[in-house]
C-alpha cells in the first residue's frame, strides 16, 4: 500500500488502486475488458463503466499508456517508461522491447523540432501463432 502510494503520485481511490494493483508488473498489455474481468473477480461491485472511466483518468494522469495497436479494443500498458513493442499480427500479443535504437533524423527532417522520444512497433507472427498456421 505504501509502495503503491510512493509509486503513484495521484489520489488513490479504491477503484484506481484496484486497477493499478492488477496492472502492477503486468506485461500482457491487457484490454479494458481483460482488466474488468480480473478486477471484478476481486471487487464484484465494480462495473465495466467504472473500470473504463478509471482507466481513462489514469491515462490522463499519465499513470498508464493507452495503446492503439488494435483498432477494435484499446490496450493498456502500466509501463510508462520509454520502450518499444513487438506485436503479433495474428493474436495481437504485445511484447516489450527494452533497447535504445539510435534513430536520428536529418536536420531537414527534424523541421526544427526538439525530439523528445520515439516509439517503434515491430510486427510479426509469434511462435504460438506460427505453430497454428503450419
In the complex, which residues of this chain contact Mn ion (CB under 5 A)? 77, 79, 96
Closer by beta carbon to Mn ion, 5 or else 7: 7
Task: Give the shortest CB-24-to-Mn ion separation in angstroms.
Answer: 14
Q: Measuring CA to CA, which residue among 44, 53, 86 is closest to residue 67?
A: 86
Distance CA 18, CA 1 (A): 11
**Partner residues linked to 31 by β-bridges:** 75
| Residue 124 CB coordination number (10 Å) | 13
Closer by beta carbon to Zn ion, 4 or else 28: 28
Task: Give the shortest CB-97-to-Zn ion separation in angstroms.
Answer: 16
94 binds Zn ion (CB under 5 A): no
Q: What are phi and psi of 48, to 5 degrees?
A: -60, -40
Answer for the pair 35, 77: CB distance below 8 angstroms, yes or no.
no
Answer for the pair 80, 64: CB distance below 8 angstroms, yes or no.
yes
> Collapsing DSSP states into helix, strand and coil, what is residue 38?
helix
Site string for Zn ion, 52-81 (x = CB under 5 A): ------------------------------
Task: Give the shortest CB-117-to-Mn ion separation in angstroms.
Answer: 14
From 24, 27, 53, 91, residue interacting with Zn ion (rule: CB under 5 A) = 91
89 binds Zn ion (CB under 5 A): no
Q: Please give the residue ranges that form the binding site for Zn ion (CB under 5 A).
A: 88, 90-91, 93, 126, 129
Amino acid at each position: 500500500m505504501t509502495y503503491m502510494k510512493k509509486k503513484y503520485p495521484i489520489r488513490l481511490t479504491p477503484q484506481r488502486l484496484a486497477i493499478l494493483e492488477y496492472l502492477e508488473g503486468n506485461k500482457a498489455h491487457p484490454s479494458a475488458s481483460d482488466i474488468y474481468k480480473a478486477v471484478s473477480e476481486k471487487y464484484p461491485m465494480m462495473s465495466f463503466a467504472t473500470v473504463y472511466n478509471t482507466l481513462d483518468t489514469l491515462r490522463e494522469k499519465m499513470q498508464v499508456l493507452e495503446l492503439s495497436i488494435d483498432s477494435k479494443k484499446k490496450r493498456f500498458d502500466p509501463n510508462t517508461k520509454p520502450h518499444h513493442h513487438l506485436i503479433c499480427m495474428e493474436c495481437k500479443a504485445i511484447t516489450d522491447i527494452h533497447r535504445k535504437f539510435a534513430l536520428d533524423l536529418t536536420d531537414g527532417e527534424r523541421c526544427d523540432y526538439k525530439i523528445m522520444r520515439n516509439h517503434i512497433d515491430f510486427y510479426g507472427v509469434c511462435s504460438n501463432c506460427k505453430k497454428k498456421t503450419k
